[in-house]
Amino acid sequence: MAKDDPDSPGLVSGLVKDTSRSSLYLLSLCACLFLGGLYLRKAANKPLPPGPCPLPIIGNIHQLLSKPLPDALSEWHQKYGPLVRFQSGNRLMISIASDDVCQDLMVRKGPLYNSRPDIVVAEEVESLQVMIDFLSSDDFSASFRRYGASVTNALGYGRRLTHDDEAEFHEAEQLAYRLVDVIVADFHFALVEIFPILDYILGFLAPWKAFGKKYYTEATSFYSRNLLKAQSTSSWNWVKHSLTRPQAKNMSTDGLSMLFGTALQAAVETIPSILRVFVKAMLLHPESLAKAQAEIDQVVGSDRLPSFSDKPSLPYINGIVNECCRWQAVLALGFPHSTTDDDEYCGYRIPKGTMLFANAWAIGFDEGIYQNARDFLPERWLENPELPNSAAFGYGPRVCPGKFIGMDSLFINIARMLWGYEFAHGERKVTLWDIDHAFTSSPRDFDAKLSIRSVKHRETLEHAQSVTETDVDGILAKIGEDFRA
């Protein structure tokens, strides 16, 4: 029989096999679609995390404006648990008040939730300047701000900010304060969150657009000048180092300027605020001050300043550093994370685009982790060295840029202030929970008198100033070698 005969058994058999195979594929596809539909329906039916009932259009804005945000969220966490869902306009947000949950979502599931070196020599030089400033002034807040600006400027752009750079320092401060003040106080920004369509209104009808344009122009100009200075310096700096990375090739000059500028600005804001918490704690807890000074006198003495090599021998002072970060968390809500896809956690649905906050303020007061959490107790870190302290600077890739300088900066400044100075109340007394909640949660202004502990301490400090190497190029070259190693 001919092979091309339509009645050929081989051909008929082949057609039957092809039809059966196609049917099998079709059935498999239908089964997959059916099961997928069941899964999606099941996922869609899962509840969102618990939280207060939102009003139409405005969400929970009315409740968030009635008191400081960390306080409002803390009350909700007490009622609803470690995951609290709320709405700002039509934007879904989740506050997390559990270190374990933050570790699960922002570290272990980092890519889904994160659409977003050894520098001790530089820090020692800048902390020495803080100590010298205190010899002639009680304005500790200004000294802390100058420290934050100078050490980040040196590491970021390759040059220190000294007292001769007053205009540049003032310009950086004003940029930061103006943005914070307007975002916190101006209801127009809240309106854009509630009614996103307002963002498309013509500029002359939208005051936030005029402000945004003016601020962006001024900030870009300032940060661009710093970027050019960083590229022109002979010394190593973080900007020059980062510009060699492949990711930088796809960004505009303005984009790079703003990226570096805002990242370094975060460090400038964070560290001085924590140092203010430290001064506040020492005024309110003289018993902790006495214990710390007894420890540092025994380990260091008065013939030299504390250095980073002393850190392992100063456990109580390390406890003070950790306790200052926890007790009155400066980054109360951390840096927001946003989900890049739908997710499920512990039976709760977390839709794509949800904004999540690691609520460091609430985590720090978790009695399940920190007993007597509202008390300032450096001893807790000696009794349990495994206590978590991630909340202070955030979690995962969205960790606060200030951590780049971070805990070492806090240690060297706190250790040296405890070594060299006594703390006393000034004219404006400090109040325990009197706090400004803005970009950072910082103690409201108060006064303190810092006096050198002895003639010997003064002599040691002045001698250290005369012999300390302040060649920024040499210091940064060493840091650059550490980065490349």
Q: Which of 51, 79, 112 is the last residue of a domain?
A: 112
pLDDT of residue 3: 45
Report if residue 440 sits inside a domain.
Answer: yes
pLDDT of residue 256: 76
Report if residue 205 sits inside a domain.
Answer: no
Computed over every residue of the chain, the mean pLDDT equals 75
Q: Which residue has the higher pLDDT, 367 or 267?
A: 367
Most confident of 180-189, 193-202, 214-223, 320-329: 320-329
Residue range 344-354: mean pLDDT, rounded: 85
Tell me the residue range of the domain where 97 lies: 60-112
Are 443 and 400 members of one domain? yes
Report if residue 133 sits inside a domain.
Answer: yes
Percent of the chain at pLDDT exceeding 70: 67
Q: What gap in Å lies between CA 225 and CA 179, rounded to an integer?
A: 19
Are 424 and 353 members of one domain? yes
Q: Is the pTM of this model over 0.95?
A: no
> Position of tokens 């039976």?
347
Q: Which of 47, 77, 112 is the last residue of a domain?
A: 112
* Per-residue pLDDT band at 43 (split at 50, 70, 90): very low
The 3-state secondary structure of the chain reads CCCCCCCCHHHHHHHHHHHHHHHHHHHHHHHHHHHHHHHHHHHHHCCCCCCCCCECCCECHHHHCCCCHHHHHHHHHHHHCCEEEEEECCEEEEEECCHHHHHHHHHHCHHHHCCCCCCHHHHHHHHHHHHHHHCCCCCHHHHHHHHHHHHHHHHHHCCCCCHHHHHHHHHHHHHHHHHHHHHHHCHHHHHHHHCHHHHHCCHHHCHHHHHHHHHHHHHHHHHHHHHHHHHHCCCCCHHHHHHCCHHHHHCCHHHHHHHHHHHHHHHHHHHHHHHHHHHHHHHHCHHHHHHHHHHHHHHCCCCCCCCHHHHHHCHHHHHHHHHHHHHCCCCCCCCCEECCCCEEECCEEECCCCEEEECHHHHHCCCCCCCCCCCCCCHHHHHCCCCCCHHHCCCHHHCCHHHHCHHHHHHHHHHHHHHHEEEEECCCCCCCCCEEECCCEEECCCCEEEEECCHHHHHHHHHHHHHCCCCHHHHHHHHHHHHHC
Are 384 and 322 members of one domain? yes
Q: What gap in Å lies between CA 389 and CA 113, rounded to an integer?
A: 20
pLDDT of residue 255: 77
Are 71 and 149 members of one domain? no
* Per-residue pLDDT band at 4 (split at 50, 70, 90): very low
CATH classification at residue 467: 1.10.630.10
Are 146 and 99 members of one domain? no
Residue range 51-78: mean pLDDT, rounded: 85
Report if residue 287 sits inside a domain.
Answer: yes
pLDDT tens digits, 264-323: 776 677 788 889 999 999 999 999 999 999 999 999 999 999 998 999 999 999 999 999
pLDDT tens digits, 150-193: 777 777 787 777 665 667 777 777 776 666 555 544 444 555 55
The answer to whether 114 and 397 have CB atoms below 8 angstroms apart is: yes
Residue range 130-149: mean pLDDT, rounded: 68
Q: What gap in Å lies between CA 282 and CA 274, rounded to an integer?
A: 13
Burial of 1 (0-12, 13-18, 19+ CB in 10 A): exposed
pLDDT tens digits, 385-433: 989 876 666 676 556 555 656 788 889 889 999 999 999 998 888 888 8
Report if residue 44 sits inside a domain.
Answer: no
Are 74 and 149 members of one domain? no
Report if residue 15 sits inside a domain.
Answer: no
Number of compact structural domains in the chain:
2
Are 92 and 133 members of one domain? no
Q: Which of 112, 140, 174 is the last residue of a domain?
A: 112
Q: Which residue has the higher pLDDT, 145 or 415?
A: 415
Q: What gap in Å lies between CA 423 and CA 417, rounded to an integer?
A: 9
Report if residue 255 sits inside a domain.
Answer: no
Are 85 and 140 members of one domain? no
Return the closest-CA partner of residue 85 out of 45, 51, 46. Answer: 51
Return the closest-CA partner of residue 265 out of 442, 445, 404, 126. Answer: 404
Are 444 and 365 members of one domain? yes
For 467-482, give one letter per residue: b (16+ CB within 10 A) or e. eeeeebeebbeebbee
Annotated binding-site residue? 400: yes
Are 467 and 375 members of one domain? yes
Are 359 and 394 members of one domain? yes
Are 101 and 143 members of one domain? no
Residue range 343-349: mean pLDDT, rounded: 86
Is the pLDDT at 194 greater than 60? The verdict is no
Return the closest-CA partner of residue 428 out of 283, 314, 317, 330. Answer: 283
Is the pLDDT at 6 greater than 50? The verdict is no
Report if residue 83 sits inside a domain.
Answer: yes
Q: Which residue has the higher pLDDT, 130 or 296?
A: 296
Q: Give me the amino acid identity at 73.
A: L
